[in-house]
Amino acid sequence: MSAPSNASDKVSVAFLNPAAQGDVFFQLLTDFMQAAADDLGFDLDVYYGGRNHVLIDENVKALFSRDTLPQYIVGMNARGAGELLLAQAEAAGIKTVFINQSFLGEERKSAGRPGEKYTHWLFEYLPDDTHAGYLLARILIEKASRAGLVDADGMINIIAVSGHETSPASLLREEGLREALAEYPNARLRQIIHAGWKPDRAKELSQRLLRRYPDTSVVWAASDAMGAGVAEGVRELGKHPGSNILIGGVDWTRHAQELLGKGDFAVSVGGHFMDGAWALVMMYDAMHGIAVSRASQSHFSSLTARNIVEYKKHFGVSDWRKIDFTKFSKYLNPTLKYYDFGLEAVLDQMETLQ
């Protein structure tokens, strides 16, 4: 079996990207997703939201104002626009998939789970953001402990730079941070600040906190972009990233890979930039009658100085078209019993292409 390749066979999919074109994380996700769309016969139309709640809402309205509506939508609960998207998709009869972030708390009670209140909501494939925050904190704390980066009382002092106060990704990553702190009595969280995912804001706010807490030896950042801003600010204060202060982030951005190579970053946690592509694989299978879980999660791995060279050797490629995404489809590969969307599976395939 093979995916359709003729233009007339293509299934139209709209992707509501919450960020701007060129965003260090979401452009990586979009590019990887586009390669999968090409292999699977999807015509992918991307709406960029610029991390602006007004534009994100306007994109939802513009999408449903089109003369010809898409057959499928890939979206997320970005800046609280998730239920607006689901309600309009339900009214229009358009099947919808959520990636990256969904609902928490009262929003979850209102929206429900995929297939409940909104019957055209097929499934959600979300990163385990709690695990991301936990893994990032644990690695940073253990590295600081081994390096002896403690204060006079033997404590590892941490500041945390998070995204938006209401962002599910921020909240869940902070939850993971607190879970890790509970396991390390010698680690102390000085303060959490919210920089709205903006590097410049992260730089400014972290400099304030580093002046307030000069004994800080670890900065936990909820994104690599904010972590890069912190690293720049740390150098301006005369400190040395990777030496007397350890910085880590989330996303596996290319900039973070450079900072890992230079020693300015201690760790980047990621892998979830692949989630949009995997959602398309599952969407393709669902189209062809394959049962797909209503709710599943992707998992995070860590890049450090130990494995960054090997990672870039095999995976530091910008031409994702070298990956054959049809190989991950259960419909196109009937012998597959379960999805394997892990990094190793992608690396194994890329090894065969070299």
Segment 310-326, tens digit of pLDDT = 888 777 666 788 889 99
The domain limits of the chain are 7-127+272-300+317-353, 130-250
The CA–CA distances, whole Å, from 153 to 177, 186, 187, 209 equal 22, 9, 11, 20
Give residue for tokens 């607006």: 84
Residue 6 has a pLDDT of 54
First-to-last alpha carbon distance for the chain, in angstroms, is 24
Residue 50 has a pLDDT of 95
- Does domain 7-127+272-300+317-353 sit in CATH 3.30.565.60? no
CATH tag, 130-250: 3.40.50.2300
Strands (E), 26-144: 42-48, 72-75, 95-99, 121-127
Residue 322 has a pLDDT of 80
Residue 318 has a pLDDT of 61
3-state secondary structure of 214: coil
Q: Rounded to whole angstroms, how far apart are CA atoms 227 and 179?
A: 21
Topology agreement, domain 7-127+272-300+317-353 and domain 130-250: yes
Residue 214 has a pLDDT of 96
Q: Rounded to whole angstroms, how far apart are CA atoms 110 and 212?
A: 41
Segment 181-228, tens digit of pLDDT = 999 999 999 999 999 999 999 999 999 999 999 999 999 999 999 999
Residue 9 has a pLDDT of 79
Residue 98 has a pLDDT of 98
Q: Rounded to whole angstroms, how far apart are CA atoms 208 and 187?
A: 21
115 DSSP 8-state letter: T
Residue 270 has a pLDDT of 95
Tens-digit pLDDT profile for the chain (354 aa)? 555 555 557 999 999 999 999 998 999 999 999 999 999 999 999 999 999 999 999 999 999 999 999 999 999 999 889 999 999 999 999 999 999 999 999 999 999 999 999 999 999 999 999 999 999 999 999 999 999 999 999 999 999 999 999 999 999 999 999 999 999 999 999 999 999 999 999 999 999 999 999 999 999 999 999 999 999 999 999 999 999 999 999 999 999 999 999 999 999 999 999 999 999 999 999 999 999 999 999 999 999 999 898 888 777 666 788 889 999 999 999 999 999 998 778 877 776 655
Residue 8 has a pLDDT of 56
